[in-house]
Amino acid sequence: MKKTTQNKDVIILAVESSCDETSVAIVKNGREVLSNVISSQIDIHKLYGGVVPEIAARNHIVNIDLVADKALNEANLTMSDITAIAVTYGAGLLGALIVGVNFAKALSYRYNKPLIAVNHIEGHICANYIAHADLKPPFACLIVSGGHTALCEMTSYTTRKLIGTTTDDAIGEAFDKVARECGLAYPGGPNVEKQALLGKKSINFITKPHEKLKDFNFSYSGLKTAVINYIHNKRQKGEEINVPDVCKSFQDEAISQVVFKSIEACKKFGFKTLALAGGVSASKALRAAAEAEGVKAGIKVVYPPLVLCTDNAAMVGAAGYFCYIEGKNIASNLSLAPSSTVAL
Ligand code: KG4
Ligand code: ZN
């Protein structure tokens, strides 16, 4: 039987295709996920050691209609129940974004529904509203993904103030490079985490330079290079590399930097809640370290469930909802263009 929705309910059909996940979700009133279908291309890109943009775009084209159909079916709704369409317009791989954006534009035009352009990172942040019904701005948010490492103050549901950002590489990128050097499969982060569970922190790659810096910016290129140099040196000497120890030593250092800076910022600016967002927030080691330091400082640490940490459309539906009710980011279904980079 078809589900009934209240007239005042805002039902968002959301589309995400910025990287290698084709996803469509139906989200009610920004916090309730009616369906969240994710078609992952990981097994294809694994063969190449990373995401191949052209292959990602082609697979989005193959998948997107079926994924959207499944999302509506699982929610037990039809297009007439949908209030608005939300789509990630950036940041991401341009060819991949074009598929989702054009699909959303066509739906918006055909069914005469408003179109909302969503910043992918805002989506990651808003995954926390789905997971924590009582979470309200202001709070601090640490965004850690393959392309971002940033700390923000969420000043409202749709606005934020940057507190710190990476001056070079993103933390997820460092995880992925270290994984590749260690011969671990793509995506690197989860595999580094698995290896780290078997290892000891026996290698001192770098001695906490972030604790001496007075600002809240991050840096990962020094740590990444230290790990790569260590591995190359060992190889040149024909010595064995202890992959679990390399992973554990790198991971502890990588995590301690974001946790240290985030907790210090919360203390300085008086935030009582720190939310984690983005693919790297799937790291159990990061969650545990942030929670442990949070307890010491009297700061509540929250994060989304694993399925909402990595790329998915439900988070885009949550972000789209808050834009919709505030009348922000309403886009043209004829001219919305994707963008490979978007300011945080
Ligand atoms: O948010 P996301 O899915 O895509 C981007 O928007 O970038 O994040 C992907 C990143 C990758 O660098 C991946 O290695 C990392 O998140 N990641 C992890 C873990 N799971 C995913 N990093 C560390 N530990 C994990 N368990
Ligand atoms: Zn992402």
Q: What is the dihedral of CA 235, 237, 242, 243, to 10 degrees?
A: -10
pLDDT digits over 49-68, tens only? 888 999 999 999 999 999 99
The ligand 1 atom at the shortest distance from the C-alpha of residue 176 is 14
Measured from the CB, is residue 92 less than 6 Å from ligand 1? no
CATH topology of domain 137-304: Nucleotidyltransferase; domain 5 (3.30.420)
Q: Alpha helices of the chain — where are they, by DSSP H? A: 42-46, 53-75, 94-111, 120-131, 171-181, 188-196, 221-236, 243-269, 284-297, 306-309, 314-326
For ligand 2, the distance from its centroid to the CA atom of residue 145, given in whole angstroms, is 6
Measured from the CB, is residue 310 less than 6 Å from ligand 1? yes
Nearest ligand atom owner, CA of 283: 1
Structure tokens at 105: 């534009």
For ligand 1, the distance from its centroid to the CA atom of residue 189, given in whole angstroms, is 6
Per-residue pLDDT at 69: 98
For ligand 2, the distance from its centroid to the CA atom of residue 121, given in whole angstroms, is 7
For ligand 1, the distance from its centroid to the CA atom of residue 261, given in whole angstroms, is 20
Ligand 1 pocket: which of 175, 177, 250 to mutate (most atoms <8 Å of CB)?
175
Structure tokens at 80: 């007439």
Per-residue pLDDT at 214: 76
Residues of the chain with pLDDT under 50: 1
Nearest ligand atom owner, CA of 285: 1
pTM of the full structure: 0.94
Residue 21 region, left (φ>0) first, then alpha (ψ -120 to 50), else beta? Answer: beta
Ligand 1 pocket: which of 182, 220, 280 to mutate (most atoms <8 Å of CB)?
280
Per-residue pLDDT at 49: 85
CA atoms within 13 A on the CB side of 100: 36
| Residue 228: Cβ within 10 Å count | 14
What angle, 0 to 180 degrees and rounded to 10, lies between the N-to-C axes of helices 171-181 and 221-236?
A: 10
For ligand 1, the distance from its centroid to the CA atom of residue 55, given in whole angstroms, is 20
For ligand 2, the distance from its centroid to the CA atom of residue 91, given in whole angstroms, is 9
Identify the residue whose C-alpha is closest to ligand 1 atom 22.
189
Measured from the CB, is residue 311 less than 6 Å from ligand 1? yes
Amino acid at position 17, single letter:
S
Q: Strands 21-28, 84-90: parallel, antiparallel or unpaired by DSSP?
A: unpaired
pLDDT digits over 74-86, tens only? 999 999 999 999 9
What are the residue ranges of CATH 3.30.420.40 in the chain?
11-126+309-331, 137-304
Tokens 């919305």 correspond to what residue? Answer: 336
Measured from the CB, is residue 175 less than 6 Å from ligand 1? yes
Per-residue pLDDT at 187: 87
Per-residue pLDDT at 335: 96
Nearest ligand atom owner, CA of 147: 1
Per-residue pLDDT at 212: 64
Measured from the CB, is residue 38 less than 6 Å from ligand 1? no
Residue 278: which of 109, 103, 150 has the closest Cα?
150
For ligand 1, the distance from its centroid to the CA atom of residue 113, given in whole angstroms, is 33
Give CA separation, 111 vs 8, 60, 65, 81, 187, in Å.
19, 22, 15, 11, 37
Contact yes or no for 180/49 (Cβ under 8 A) = yes
Residue 51: which of 64, 62, 60, 61 has the closest Cα?
60
Measured from the CB, is residue 39 less than 6 Å from ligand 1? no
Give CA separation, 95 vs 74, 87, 284, 311, in Å.
28, 15, 32, 17
For ligand 2, the distance from its centroid to the CA atom of residue 14, given in whole angstroms, is 15
pLDDT digits over 11-52, tens only? 999 999 999 999 999 999 999 999 999 999 989 998 988 889
The ligand 1 atom at the shortest distance from the C-alpha of residue 124 is 1
Per-residue pLDDT at 216: 95
The ligand 1 atom at the shortest distance from the C-alpha of residue 284 is 26
- The CATH architecture that domain 11-126+309-331 belongs to is 2-Layer Sandwich (3.30)
Planar angle of CA 260, 262, 264, nearest 5 degrees: 65
Using H for helix, E for strand and C for coil, what is the string for 283-306?
Answer: CHHHHHHHHHHHHHHCCEEECCCH
Measured from the CB, is residue 90 less than 6 Å from ligand 1? no
